[in-house]
């Protein structure tokens, strides 16, 4: 075994700790960001175990992640390959820990005494990065991205220091690639559990078109990180809620949201919810970040395409498509594509509508906000793959831009921006319904083509 560590009960921990060396120790007494985090009703309950401290210890071929808890929890852990991760499933835990600690770069900055000669990128030892949060109602998860093949020595609670509370310890040891792959294939990821949670609502027939708003990320998947603890998942959720309220008040469309709380939903499930709701338009809302250029700002509207319009669009799609992996789902989920001539025809029509809406939205957005220098781009976004629902992905701005971040977190700006998007949505359906008022040259997306979707023929 690695390091000649004997299996069996009880590590000689104090001695081993000394031997390993405590390279990274972070304890958070009262994190500032925690006060700004929106609390869900469940989080406000007094009975949930609270995680309020964290330490990462590495040395030799062993790494330990230690979460200080108010009470012990039971856990199940397994490994997943490609990308290589450790998944630890827990009952709901109220994580009062800065998510930035789990990121390669930000996590290092948060560490008071960074390990000398630590490999970049990565946090330390076997741990490249990690995340934690809700993955389904009442289910929390910790996902650890591995820097190399590792085996789980244990993932369990033990009494806390001085007998107070508990420590939840995940202990990993280096292993060889073959053993890792064998362990990964033996552990079937519990994807089905997450998938089955969303019983699709029965579509209600109505004269009003259905708009499905998709607030990106959620739960364990925080999305991009901005300054001062700003999280993409929170910013886009606030935006989506405000937009939903606007559209409902306008009474020209019906509205449904893919998530109504801070919870993880897989990309495939977002698409399924849109189709189950009978969506005539799907808008996925995100906020980008660029680590190497803080001057880039403004909104961008993306539509689906096999080939990316440019390298930047390809980068954004690749990043947004990582959401399922971030939550510890098997990356193979939803990879299958239906190949069918009718599906292809419908897809082509749908994309025409998507592009018209994207251009409409860019036109309206110009009136109120900054636009990226190339505001309509295309790439292979997995969340835009419904072949029969016109879909766009709106990146409302860059969390890495001070200018954008100030706007995105200001209620006044949000009011103005969501009012504008609502007018774009209403304008789109008005033009589509009237079959006129199309300024765009080229093939007429509102003409003789049937609407790209109908309730009939839905699975
Ligand atoms: Zn995003």
pLDDT at 439 over 60: no
Give distance in angstroms: CA of 216 to centre of ligand 1. 5
Give distance in angstroms: CA of 357 to centre of ligand 1. 20
210 or 443: which leads in pLDDT? 210
What is the pLDDT averaged over residues 65-86? Answer: 91
Domain 18-188 and domain 206-434 have a common topology: no
Select 18-188's CATH number: 2.60.40.3500, 3.30.2290.10, 3.40.50.720, 3.20.20.100: 2.60.40.3500
Q: Which of 267, 207, 231, 210 is nearest to 98 (CA)?
A: 231
Q: Which of 68, 65, 77, 75 is nearest to 49 (CA)?
A: 68
Copy the structure tokens of residue 254: 């019906």
What is the pLDDT averaged over residues 307-331? Answer: 88
Give distance in angstroms: CA of 393 to centre of ligand 1. 9
For the chain, helix (H) and strand (E) counts, in that order, are 13, 16
Tens-digit pLDDT profile for residues 90-123: 999 999 998 888 887 544 443 333 333 333 346 7
CA angle 458, 193, 231 (to 5 degrees): 90
Copy the structure tokens of residue 132: 């934690």
Q: Read off the pLDDT band of 188 (50, 70, 90).
A: low
Give distance in angstroms: CA of 404 to centre of ligand 1. 15
CB 56 within 8 A of CB 123: yes
Q: Which of 335, 173, 186 is nearest to 268 (CA)?
A: 335
pLDDT at 431 over 60: yes
Domain ranges of the chain: 18-188, 206-434
What is the pLDDT averaged over residues 199-220? Answer: 76
**Cα–Cα distance for residue pair 345/349, rounded to 1 Å:** 6
* CB-based burial, 37-59: b 16+ in 10 Å, e otherwise: beeeeebeeeebbbbbbbbbbbb
Tens-digit pLDDT profile for residues 366-419: 887 789 888 999 999 999 989 899 999 999 999 999 999 999 999 999 999 999
Element (H, E) at 432: helix 411-434
Per CATH, the number for 206-434 is 3.40.630.40
Give distance in angstroms: CA of 223 to centre of ligand 1. 5
Tens-digit pLDDT profile for residues 239-284: 999 999 999 999 999 999 999 999 999 999 999 999 999 999 999 9
pLDDT at 199 over 80: no
């Amino acid at each position: 075994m690695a390091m000649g560590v004997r299996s069996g009960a009880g590590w000689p921990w104090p001695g081993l700790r000394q031997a390993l060396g405590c390279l990274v120790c972070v304890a958070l007494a009262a994190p500032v960001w925690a006060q700004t985090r929106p609390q869900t009703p469940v989080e406000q309950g007094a009975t949930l175990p609270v995680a309020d401290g964290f330490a990462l210890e590495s040395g030799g071929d062993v790494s330990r992640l230690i979460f200080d808890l108010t009470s012990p929890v039971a856990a199940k852990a397994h490994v997943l390959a490609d990308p290589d991760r450790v998944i630890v499933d827990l009952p709901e835990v109220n994580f009062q820990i800065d998510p930035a600690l789990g990121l390669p770069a930000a996590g290092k900055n948060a560490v008071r005494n960074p390990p000398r000669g630590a490999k970049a990128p990565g946090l330390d030892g076997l741990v490249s990065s990690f995340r934690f949060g809700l993955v389904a109602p009442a289910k929390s998860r910790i996902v650890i991205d591995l820097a190399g093949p590792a085996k789980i020595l244990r993932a369990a609670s033990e009494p806390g220091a001085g007998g107070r509370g508990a420590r939840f310890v995940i202990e990993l040891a280096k292993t060889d690639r073959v053993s890792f792959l064998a362990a990964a294939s033996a552990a079937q990821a519990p994807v089905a559990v997450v998938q089955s949670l969303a019983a699709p609502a029965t579509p209600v027939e109505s004269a009003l078109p259905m708009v499905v708003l998709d607030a990106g990320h959620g739960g364990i998947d925080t999305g991009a990180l901005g300054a001062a603890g700003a999280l993409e998942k929170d910013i886009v959720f606030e935006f989506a809620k405000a937009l939903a309220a606007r559209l409902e008040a306008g009474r020209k469309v019906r509205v449904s949201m893919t998530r109504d709380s801070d919870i993880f939903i897989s990309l495939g499930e977002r698409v399924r919810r849109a189709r189950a709701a009978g969506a005539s338009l799907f808008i996925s809302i995100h906020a980008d970040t660029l680590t190497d250029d803080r001057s880039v700002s403004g909104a961008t509207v993306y539509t689906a395409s096999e080939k990316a319009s440019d390298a930047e669009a390809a980068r954004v799609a690749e990043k947004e498509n990582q959401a399922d992996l971030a939550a510890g789902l098997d990356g193979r989920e939803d990879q299958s594509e239906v190949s069918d001539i009718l599906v292809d025809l419908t897809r082509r029509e749908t994309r025409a509508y998507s592009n018209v809406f994207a251009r409409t939205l860019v036109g309206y957005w110009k009136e109120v906000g900054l636009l990226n220098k190339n505001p309509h781009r295309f790439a292979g976004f997995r969340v835009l793959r419904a072949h029969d629902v016109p879909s766009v992905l709106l990146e409302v701005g860059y969390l890495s831009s001070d200018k954008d971040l100030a706007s995105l977190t200001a209620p006044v700006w949000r009011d103005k921006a969501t009012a504008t998007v609502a007018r774009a949505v209403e304008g789109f359906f008005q033009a589509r319904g009237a079959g006129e008022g199309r300024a765009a040259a080229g093939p007429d997306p509102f003409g003789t083509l049937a609407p790209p979707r109908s309730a009939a023929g839905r699975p």
